[in-house]
Structure 1
Amino acid sequence: MNRFAYTRATSVADAVRQHAITPHAQFLAGGTNLVDLMREDVLRPTTVIDITRLPLRGVDATPSGGLKIGALVSNSALAWDARVRARYPLLAQALLAGASAQIRNAASVGGNLLQRTRCMYFYDPTTCCNKRAPGTGCAALDGVNRMHAIFGASEHCIATHPSDMCVALEALDASVHVAGSRGSRSLPFDALHRLPGSTPHRETVLAEEELITAVELPAEGYAQRATYLKLRDRHSYAFALVSVALGVRVEDGRIAALGCALGGVAHKPWRDRAAEASLLGQAADDTGAQARFADAVTARADPRPGNAFKVELARRAIIRAFERALAPTEASAHDDEDEV
């Protein structure tokens, strides 16, 4: 680990200011990802700016009927918040499917959104990785790529985003509040993360000094019909091979609204809104329409030899997620995670 300076921000504006005038600085919240990256010599910040004392730990109702979640709220606190469990079960399930209890206790909401890929080549400074060292190549293309992307990848990077929470936030149409040197702004969650293209080292649209201050949930939380399905190699403390966050609103027996996002398959949570539109108005018990939806979503997959199995796994996971989300209420309690 390299030597670095440590400072503590006294306000959001102070944190932004310090980062803006300090090259190669990093914000420190829970540190569950940053410390790993520094320990492995993947990140070498000159300065670490501690933001843990900032007033960003509230979970408050919004005028529109949703919830605004401070960026420093821990993953555990959010998962067990009574309002989240009652109104946004999809998010609570996703949070509890991620990492371990100890890590969830430390990890922050804002940090979860910004965690880096868990690609083994990214974490190994002796290998080629365009994300870690732009222009050096991507060892995963012809290497061990079982865990890698089947959607939205490029010749420069096939890594996947590791977050469970982000998949749920994508399905819920959340928004993100950020503060920067040019002021504050809000953006749709879907616009936060970038596909790799030719610049995989740029994982989000945020400027270097911009700080996530909150995540906002809309009023629609799919409280009655939602599920988070995570398929992985072992039952605990493993990243998803494929995950599905699905929320459905049913009116008069037909699908009136839905959000469906996939994890473990792309550089960002993956959502096919055109395919979703085809299900609107369909009978909620039309399993054929659900299967056609799964086929449409996975038809765009472009896997590598090592992860081609993910295409069929994703298709089946989507179908199973519909079965779970649309099951009768008394039979809708499920474990938060599944093994392959």
Structure 2
Amino acid sequence: MLIAGGTNLVDLWKYNLLHPKLLVDINHLSECHSITELEDGGLRLGALVSNADTAYHPLVEERYPLLSKAILAGASAQIRNMATNGGNLLQRTRCYYFYDPDAPCNKRNPGSGCSAIEGYNRIHAILGASSACIAVFPSDMCVALAALGAVVQVVGKNGERSIPFTDFHRLPGDTPEVDNALQPGELITSIDLPGHGFARHYSYLKLRDRHSYAFALVSVATALDIEDGVIRDARIALGGVAHKPWRVADAEASLVGKEANEESFAAAADIILQGAQGFQYNQFKIELAKRAIIRNGMMALHPETQLPGAQPSA
């Protein structure tokens, strides 16, 4: 198994959920340690750059503040200093039952069953789940990357390939043990951001049980292009609700040409949450997600008010 920051892999090893026969340290891959500008105006984030260095990079803060804000909402400062960009994409679910080796879990032991469906499922999925798994993907960074339309660059024995971010993570279906689109032996080398970073109107909202070092019950990344009060382009991605960051193209398209107000965001939220299904302990997440989408849309109109000590614009 490959190891870089090890912030998830080592945890899984300690919990006796992984048993690597050999660890290969990839930190010497110098070409994956940089953040560079692309010819099309975008930005290439090396897979081995730490989450902290990415969040505080001047070009990320200037052009992609949504990404910076999402990264800083995750984990703790110590973990962000160690965790890598590539590893962030590959982290495993934080489902209680996945981490309990004595509990049936299809993601950990395919075919054994899903304990969460009839168990304590407060943090679990309301969208895209299956009868095999209702776990959620825990990343904050990835929610922003999904909203921005990033592209994952990978290399393997068959050469290099590019994977659109919306296609990188997968829904559980009948094979919840397969988290993403990587083929055996493939390695993430970078994550490419498009030239347009939605730096004027953006917001990341993370709703959780405590303010620090907690995974999202619901999170929302919103990026808007607005001209004369009318939305020209919109991106909305949800975290904490599905097996992958959740985007619905029809909802984003429905906002184009509309006024940027609560009514418009509420209508988009209804589209995003079509088919949402709660379980015994997480029914509240459906209404919570709708309110979060509306609130975050309004927050994106004035991102300067999200800074510590800032006052709302007149």
Per the alignment, residue 312 of structure 2 pairs with none
Per the alignment, residue 24 of structure 2 pairs with 49
Secondary structure of 1:299's counterpart equals coil
- Cα displacement (A) at 1:292: 1.1
Distance in 2 of aligned mates of 1:106 and 1:131: 26
Per the alignment, residue 124 of structure 2 pairs with 148
Are residues 1:297 and 2:272 paired? yes
- Cα displacement (A) at 1:184: 0.5
Map Cα deviations across residues 260-315 of structure 1 (whole Å, 9 max, x no partner): 1000000000011111111111122x321211111221232111121000000000
Are residues 1:306 and 2:278 paired? no
Structure 2: gaps spanning 5 or more residues: 310-314
Secondary structure of 2:87's counterpart equals helix
Distance in 2 of aligned mates of 1:135 and 1:228: 37
Q: In the alignment, which of 36, 42, 64 is matched to residue 66 of structure 1?
A: 42
Q: In the alignment, which of 90, 93, 99 is matched to residue 75 of structure 2?
A: 99
Contact map agreement 1:325 1:332 (CA 8 A) in 2: no
TM-score by length of 1: 0.89
Map Cα deviations across residues 211-233 of structure 1 (whole Å, 9 max, x no partner): 00000000111101001000000
Distance in 2 of aligned mates of 1:231 and 1:334: 17
> Residues 258-337 of structure 1: matches in 2 within 5 Å?
258-284=234-260, 286-327=261-302, 331-333=305-307
- Cα displacement (A) at 1:330: 5.3
Per the alignment, residue 90 of structure 2 pairs with 114
Distance in 2 of aligned mates of 1:332 and 1:304: 33
Structure 1: gaps spanning 5 or more residues: 1-25, 336-340
- Cα displacement (A) at 1:167: 0.2
- Cα displacement (A) at 1:187: 1.1
Distance in 1 of aligned mates of 2:50 and 2:263: 40
Secondary structure of 1:321's counterpart equals helix
* Percent of residue pairs bearing the same amino acid type: 56
Are residues 1:40 and 2:40 paired? no
Aligned length: 308
TM-score by length of 2: 0.96
Per the alignment, residue 125 of structure 1 pairs with 101
Secondary structure of 1:47's counterpart equals coil
Distance in 2 of aligned mates of 1:333 and 1:31: 31
Secondary structure of 2:296's counterpart equals helix
- Cα displacement (A) at 1:87: 0.8
Secondary structure of 1:186's counterpart equals strand
Provide the aligned C-alpha RMSD in A: 1.1
Are residues 1:191 and 2:177 paired? no
- Cα displacement (A) at 1:252: 3.0
Which letter does structure 2 place at the counterpart of 1:271?
R
Residue 97 and residue 32 in structure 1: after superposition, are their counterparts in 2 closer, same or farther (change >3 A)? same
Contact map agreement 1:154 1:196 (CA 8 A) in 2: yes
Per the alignment, residue 233 of structure 2 pairs with 257
Q: In the alignment, which of 177, 180, 186 is matched to residue 156 of structure 2?
A: 180
Residue 330 and residue 175 in structure 1: after superposition, are their counterparts in 2 closer, same or farther (change >3 A)? closer
Map Cα deviations across residues 58-89 of structure 1 (whole Å, 9 max, x no partner): 10000110100100000000000011111111
Which letter does structure 2 place at the counterpart of 1:48?
L
